[in-house]
Structure 1
């Protein structure tokens, strides 16, 4: 299997960190923009797109700040993380996404995140 490449993208978001956190860390919030539907049982999250399910385990959660998942079918050290960062001076809020993709698919993966986060911004009214 090819080695996955880690990448990060930063998205400025006009929202309070508390509200943004609800949308990245709860099944109902994630269902609004990330997947068609999301269910969870404890640390296990089930993401549903067009009738197909992907299972992920929540690896880490820091209230109001970050959430980190690992797809259950990936047997490597990959994960995806959404972290909220607030600039101390300007108070600008950013969402930093860390994810992995095959080397030749990084641009595609970034575009997918850009589309997803664009939906998130619309839901938040910050588009």
Structure 2
């Protein structure tokens, strides 16, 4: 069974793609909302959830495509298929408001859980940065 593509659109309260890019395209920005600790070296991000004195979950993702102030697409190391996750800055043609478009993939039985996880992380993004 293959994974299904999930698209989430999150309206942003800011009009600067540069400020949004700082939150989605850098280790420092991602560490504010995506994971507890993030490092980046040569296009490889290491994400750590949990504190050093507790059990930690560490995952590595490679940047497979990035365009500054527009989008970043990453692929988890352990995924063997064509899946990825992407964060894209887009402007609404109707309202001219900036949105963060999330693309991710999940198995059929994990779709709702993944959507809830992204909504939680996007709420953390808003609280951490006001976006």
- TM-score where L is the length of structure 1: 0.94
- State how many pairs are aligned: 125
Aligned residue in 2 for 1:39: 39
Q: How far apart in 2 are the matches of 1:6 and 1:90?
A: 26
Aligned residue in 1 for 2:106: 101
Q: Per-residue displacement from partner, 1:86-117 (whole Å, max 9, x unpaired)?
A: 12453201000000001111011001000000
Q: Name structure 1 gaps, 5 residues minimum.
A: none
Which stretches of structure 1, 4 residues or longer, exceed 2 Å deviation after superposition?
A: 87-91
1:53 to 2:58 alignment = yes
Q: Name structure 2 gaps, 5 residues minimum.
A: 51-55
RMSD, aligned α-carbons: 1.1
Aligned residue in 1 for 2:6: 7
- TM-score where L is the length of structure 2: 0.91
